[in-house]
Structure 1
Amino acid sequence: MHFFYKTLFIRKIKMSDKHTKTDVILIGAGIMSATLGSLIKELAPDWEITIFERLEKAGEESSNEWNNAGTGHAALCELNYTPEKLDGSIDINKAVKINEQFNVSKQFWSYLVDRHLIEDPQEFIMPLPHMSLVHGEENVSFLKKRFEALSSHPLFEEMEFSEDPEKLKEWIPLIMEDRTSNQPIAATKIDSGTDVNFGALTHKMLDYLQSQYTNIFYNQSVEKIKRTDDGGWEVKVRDVKSGTIEYHTAKFLFIGAGGGSLPLLQKTGIPESKHIGGFPVSGLFLVCNDPEIVEQHHAKVYGKAAVGAPPMSVPHLDTRYIDNKKSLLFGPFAGFSPKFLKTGSNMDLLRTIKTYNVLTMLAAGAKNIPLTKYLVEQLMLSKEQRIEELREFIPNAKAEDWDIIVAGQRVQVIKDTEEGGKGALQFGTEVVSAADGSVAALLGASPGASTAVHVMLEVLEKCFPQYMPEWESKIKEMIPSYGVSLEDNPELIHEVQNATDMTLGLGKKARLLQEA
């Protein structure tokens, strides 16, 4: 009898119908929710914010420092952001746009540091040269044209170019050592690049939010999402450890769950969630922690993707600062897994295929057979084959000096577009929101975290247009370039960059100290 009543008690707890109201619900405790929450708390300090995270800690998926390359994506070294046009000229529009967006992020981080809302910027951002490296006459010609196009722009005026092997030995000694190829080689270098620990930054911003009485709940899985009669949203949340069910309602819901955002967006049932699918891509990196090797390289060096390879596979050799320790990472090596998160299920992909997006998904599959083949081939590579690819960068690399780590899962957006037709695979970050602005979700991948502040401002503009006039002056206090094109205001570029560099420790003095 005692066992019977005990069982009833446990079942009653698990079936709890607790209902809680809040102003804003954020799903996922990663860099995106941390950024949006921090912006809202500064703009509307009286609003109550609640965050739900399925894992035990914050920033453990795409925001985790080991699950991404930590590149402050500013288009300083990523060649895929500057395509060559049919007439042979270089299109720098996307590079300029991404650089401006990263500058927006740095301004907001600087604001948080200046006001002691977060501390110790060197724990999440470090100055580090960004470089592009190419081999072969055709690629060298492309890089030189790219340099000429970018360096004439105020945002990239510090960029240097060299095809002199002696100069390259100064810039990248580890890469140039024992290099015997007679192929032409060239590189660009810009010292204003950064290495960003997005995991550490996420924790700092969430610590700030908690100090402002934000509710952050871990081990909480959002099971259902439904519209309330008053136009808000109700989420059914299950404690993954105890099984307890609770219901929470809010006027505004944001889904920032990385690869897990798509299935959660589908649960809302909004029309904007239709005809959208996701294609998961896994990745691996080679990592070296040998101090003698690590100290020979001080840069993020991006190469050019192989013919037929997707943009997310651009090879790069990166210096990383994680927990005050330098490492080298090389990759990424792409692969395929049906999981949408590292901690996800092998059923994730199948569960997102619905009657309303099945044709979109089938069209994408038909269009991307070469991509699928490429991913499978990458997945089958042995460690020695991966080391051989590394030797394109470090000719004398030894397998025993490098370990393999599994990077984060990425879910590329698939949708119907005018340009790409049905089932077009998207490479980038995208906000999907309801027409009334009551719910928004972030989908996609790179440049992702680097442009988080710009993207979350886009969420605010889409979802809270009625508040933007009264918020504008505060936003400009946080982000001086808000509403202004840096491209058209070179004086503002220098003013903003000097201010953020001083606060974040990214100026020339900081770079010299790091190199020493």
Structure 2
Amino acid sequence: MTLKTVDILLVGAGAMSASLGMLLKQLDPGLKIAMIERLDQVALESTSGWNNAGTGHAAYCELNYTPQLADGSIDTRKAFAINTAFEVSLQFWSWLVEQNMLPAPKAFINQAPHQSFVWGEENVAFLRKRHETLSAHPLFADMQYSEDPEQLRQWMPLVMHNRDSNQKVAGTRVSYGSDVDFGALTRYLVEHLQRQPSFELLTSHTVKDLEQIDGRWEVKVRDEQLDKSYTIDAGFVFLGAGGGSLPLLQKSGIPEREGYGGFPVSGQWLVCTTPEVVEQHHAKVYGKPPLGAPPMSVPHLDTRIINGKKALLFGPFAGFTTKFLKQGSFLDLPKSVNLGNLKPMLSVARDNMDLTRYLISEVMQSHGDRVASLQDFYPDAKAEDWKLSIAGQRVQIIKKDPEKGGKLEFGTEVITSADGSLAALLGASPGASTAAQTMVNIIETCFTERFNSDGWQAKLREMIPSYGQSLADDPALLKVVRERTLSTLQLHEEA
């Protein structure tokens, strides 16, 4: 029995669904939107502040976004794409702050310089080349570089204190990097949506099945609190449930789902809340990943400001579990395997033995082992100041590959049905940082008719001034946009 009819059904109450809901409500306030969350509150899985790195991913410090090619050159394509996508998020958040739809920026985003740090001749040569390549472009023109220990000591005192003076070191710095409390941001977005007409948040609800009938979706849901099931009739469905998106995509039956699988990777952080340590470090410092490590395991020592409280975080340390969500089931992975994705998944297992060995070694680590890794970054670190915290689950994408049979991808990907009535977001980092751009892409793809005829493009340009233009190709526009967002979101370095 159908009890609800909606225009838009958002599955998962995280940063992605909240961003799409906010964009659509600005484009058409009359849209009837429902947001479903299987837990009893929003933003408790990967969006929670303690379940992600909180880095506003702009490719300033993340070395895995700029791989070195065989000829020695630096591949900047991913860095440029991520940087410009994050600029879209900054513009959208700035507009929401200006419209009083979000609170004062420090409630969800804070300035934290983005820095890279490496040691050893080979790594220093790589970082020098990376800086030369990136800083030649306006997007990265403000990036500083140094091999001077005294300069680095000013940038990252904990990292440099009592470090071996014979060690060859180098670092880069962008002062207006950011730490984002995505959990707080998402709660503010959903709170605003709840104040709008024709929006409903349904917590403690589980999607059991979905089927397309006559162009619309019948979504079977269960109200866990009332212990009853019913159907929601939706014109458009967005599956933004983190690791939970893949099983739902498979249930949808759309042809585009074929061949997709998931590889779950868990994460852990070392966390320090000791005031005298925390106050000596204000930055996000990223290094190079260990051999065989997935890109999501690039080690970093971060300033975090979550719910207004400052802490330091180091990691992530990877692990393996068959759960697709932190509060999921150990049967998630085996249940996701089917005839359509078996070959790609077996191919990935065959071709990623280094990753398998790395994950096993990570799982076997003791607290002392983890602190030893931390001491590579922070030589004076004391084990008693750091506690282990479990991060959120990340389900990396496995997909078909014509040459290898299957490939493992680290990133995010949107799968949409041919008729545009369903979109599913798979993958992980850079994730929430690029939510605004990713959701704009979904709107362009899935709402083509309204997009072209209902003034939606003009409204998007109001919310995101660079919309329809390239910040990478227009230095003058980039300057105007950056000055506005850095000022509105208070991301300029404090004197």
Structure 2: distance between partners of 1:117 and 1:289 = 31
What one-letter code is carried by the residue in structure 2 that aligns with 1:441? Answer: A
Shift of 1:76: 0.3
2:228 paired with 1:244: yes
Shift of 1:181: 5.3
Helix, strand or coil: the match of 2:448?
coil
Segments of 5+ residues of structure 1 without an aligned counterpart are: 1-16
Give 1:224's match in structure 2, choosing from 206, 209, 226.
209
Structure 2: distance between partners of 1:18 and 1:97 = 42
Structure 2: distance between partners of 1:176 and 1:313 = 22
- The match for 1:482 is 467
- The match for 2:431 is 448
Shift of 1:205: 0.5
- The match for 1:215 is 200
Helix, strand or coil: the match of 1:226?
strand
Q: Deviations over 1:351-406 (max 9, x none)?
A: 10012211121111111222112111101100000000000011111110000000
Structure 1: distance between partners of 2:450 and 2:93 = 23
2:414 paired with 1:422: no
Q: Deviations over 1:472-506 (max 9, x none)?
A: 11001110111111111101111001111121111
What one-letter code is carried by the residue in structure 1 that aligns with 2:315? Answer: G
Contact 2:107 2:184 in 1 (8 A): yes
- The match for 1:102 is 86
- The match for 1:71 is 55
What one-letter code is carried by the residue in structure 2 that aligns with 1:167? Answer: Q
Give 2:420's match in structure 1, choosing from 417, 426, 437.
437
What one-letter code is carried by the residue in structure 2 that aligns with 1:475? Answer: L
237-246 vs 194-203, greater mean Cα deviation:
237-246
Structure 2: distance between partners of 1:192 and 1:491 = 19
- The match for 1:353 is 337
What one-letter code is carried by the residue in structure 2 that aligns with 1:503? Answer: T
**For residues 18 and 231 of structure 1, do their structure 2 counterparts lie closer, same or farther at Cα, with a shift above 3 Å needed?**
closer
What one-letter code is carried by the residue in structure 1 that aligns with 2:410? Answer: F
What one-letter code is carried by the residue in structure 2 that aligns with 1:417? Answer: D
Give 1:462's match in structure 2, choosing from 440, 445, 450.
445
**For residues 181 and 383 of structure 1, do their structure 2 counterparts lie closer, same or farther at Cα, with a shift above 3 Å needed?**
farther
- The equivalences for 1:358-397 within 5 A come to 358-397=342-381
Structure 2: distance between partners of 1:249 and 1:274 = 24
Helix, strand or coil: the match of 1:391?
helix
Structure 2: distance between partners of 1:308 and 1:412 = 16
Q: Deviations over 1:304-346 (max 9, x none)?
A: 0112221111000000011211100000000000000000000
2:29 paired with 1:45: yes
Contact 1:302 1:316 in 2 (8 A): yes
- The match for 2:304 is 320
What one-letter code is carried by the residue in structure 2 that aligns with 1:278? Answer: G
2:160 paired with 1:172: no
Identity %: 54
RMSD, aligned CA: 1.0
What one-letter code is carried by the residue in structure 1 that aligns with 2:85? Answer: Q
Shift of 1:18: 4.7
154-163 vs 327-336, greater mean Cα deviation:
154-163
What one-letter code is carried by the residue in structure 2 that aligns with 1:436? Answer: D
Contact 1:387 1:397 in 2 (8 A): yes
For the pair shown, which has the larger CA radius of gyration, 1 or 2? 1
What one-letter code is carried by the residue in structure 1 that aligns with 2:81? Answer: K
Structure 1: distance between partners of 2:85 and 2:438 = 8
Helix, strand or coil: the match of 2:291?
coil
What one-letter code is carried by the residue in structure 1 that aligns with 2:437? Answer: H
Structure 1: distance between partners of 2:171 and 2:221 = 51
Give 2:289's match in structure 1, choosing from 301, 305, 313.
305
2:486 paired with 1:501: yes
- The match for 2:112 is 128
Contact 1:289 1:328 in 2 (8 A): yes
- The match for 1:138 is 122
Contact 1:137 1:183 in 2 (8 A): no
Helix, strand or coil: the match of 1:212?
coil
Structure 1: distance between partners of 2:307 and 2:442 = 32
Shift of 1:240: 1.8
Structure 1: distance between partners of 2:354 and 2:492 = 44
- The runs of at least 4 consecutive aligned structure 1 residues that moved more than 3 Å come to none
Contact 1:231 1:251 in 2 (8 A): yes
Q: Deviations over 1:415-469 (max 9, x none)?
A: 0134x63220011000001000000000000000000001001111111111222
Contact 2:347 2:404 in 1 (8 A): no
Helix, strand or coil: the match of 1:254?
strand
> With structure 1 as the length reference, what TM-score do the two structures score?
0.94
Structure 1: distance between partners of 2:401 and 2:418 = 19
> With structure 2 as the length reference, what TM-score do the two structures score?
0.98
Structure 1: distance between partners of 2:216 and 2:35 = 16
Structure 2: distance between partners of 1:429 and 1:224 = 24
Helix, strand or coil: the match of 1:467?
helix
What one-letter code is carried by the residue in structure 1 that aligns with 2:473? Answer: D
Helix, strand or coil: the match of 2:235?
strand
What one-letter code is carried by the residue in structure 1 that aligns with 2:428? Answer: A
Contact 2:14 2:43 in 1 (8 A): yes
Shift of 1:183: 2.2
Structure 1: distance between partners of 2:378 and 2:492 = 29
Structure 2: distance between partners of 1:23 and 1:261 = 20
Structure 2: distance between partners of 1:507 and 1:135 = 29
Contact 2:326 2:392 in 1 (8 A): yes
- The match for 1:188 is 172
- The match for 1:12 is none
Contact 1:280 1:340 in 2 (8 A): yes
Number of corresponding residues: 492
Contact 1:498 1:507 in 2 (8 A): no
Shift of 1:242: 2.8
